[in-house]
């Protein structure tokens, strides 16, 4: 296995596909010779990535509308997003490109890296199958998937809950993860929202952020801080201040 295959934890059966995915078009342009390059694989990889992320988002966000799903997918397959995937794999140093392109910073250029990542996914897809490619993509993108914005700002349960609670006390709620089960690419997390020593709700999800959001949504429904008398206790400083003013 070469270093890139070791990072991917995948061994190519056809090494020529990997070589094609790593060949920048500038190599052929500079040598004036016919070389294969990664443009066709880039075209294929773009479609494969779109399908993988579309399927994952569709399964994990059953209550999200088309617009929200499209926005999240756009973040995942944007050039900046794909460049980040390529940088995690140190893809730039494995590219074969013309000397002029390399001298002008081609190994760090966003277009070269994002295109190469798409081509690499296309190559893995042709060399294996959809299930294998999906596993590799989702494993590599796990952190990005966990950090997706689940809701627009005006429908964000965590933001709404924090706003309500901080109107009572400056203490912010916390979201400890209390359980995590399943294989790495299909884990199910359970989060609990805790505030001022009160357990306000628990929620589950396929990512930590999804579980935290579910817990906040449950907390907003239950409003346990009201039955615990937190709202009334917050009035005490104001009453005490009024008494002091009256006495003065």
| φ, ψ at 193 (rounded to 5°) | -100, 125
Of 37, 101, 102, 118, catalytic: 118
∠ Cα 118 110 35 (to 5°): 60
Evaluate whether 191 touches 177 at the Cβ level (below 8 Å). Answer: yes
Active site residue 210: no
Active site residue 46: yes
109-114 CB contacts, 8 Å cutoff, 24+ apart: 110/79, 110/80, 110/83, 111/79, 112/24, 113/82, 113/83, 113/86, 113/87, 114/79, 114/80, 114/82, 114/83, 114/86
Residue 58 CA to residue 64 CA, distance in Å, equals: 8
Of 20, 37, 42, 46, catalytic: 46
Q: Would you please indicate which residues are annotated as catalytic (active-site) residues?
A: 46, 118
């Amino acid at each position: 296995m070469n270093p890139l295959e070791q990072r991917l934890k995948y061994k190519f059966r056809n090494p020529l596909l990997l070589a094609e995915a790593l060949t920048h078009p500038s190599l052929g342009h500079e040598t004036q010779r016919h070389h294969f390059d990664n443009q066709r694989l880039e075209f294929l990889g773009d479609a494969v990535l779109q399908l993988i992320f579309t399927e994952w988002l569709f399964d994990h966000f059953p209550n999200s509308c088309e617009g929200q799903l499209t926005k999240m997918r756009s973040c995942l397959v944007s050039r900046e997003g794909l460049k980040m995937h390529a940088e995690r794999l140190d893809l730039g140093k494995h590219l074969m490109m013309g000397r002029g392109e390399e001298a002008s910073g081609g190994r760090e250029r966003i277009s070269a890296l994002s295109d190469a990542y798409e081509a690499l996914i296309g190559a893995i897809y042709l060399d294996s199958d959809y299930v294998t490619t999906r596993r590799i993509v989702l494993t590599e993108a796990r952190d990005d998937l966990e950090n997706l914005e689940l809701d627009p700002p005006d429908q964000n349960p965590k933001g709404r809950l924090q706003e309500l609670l901080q109107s009572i006390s400056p203490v912010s709620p916390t979201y400890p993860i209390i359980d995590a089960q399943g294989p790495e690419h299909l884990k199910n997390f359970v989060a609990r929202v805790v505030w001022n020593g009160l357990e306000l709700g628990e929620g589950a999800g396929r990512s930590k952020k999804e579980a935290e959001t579910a817990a906040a949504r449950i907390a907003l429904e239950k409003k346990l801080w009201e039955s615990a008398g937190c709202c009334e206790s917050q009035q005490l400083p104001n009453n005490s201040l009024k008494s002091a003013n009256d006495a003065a």
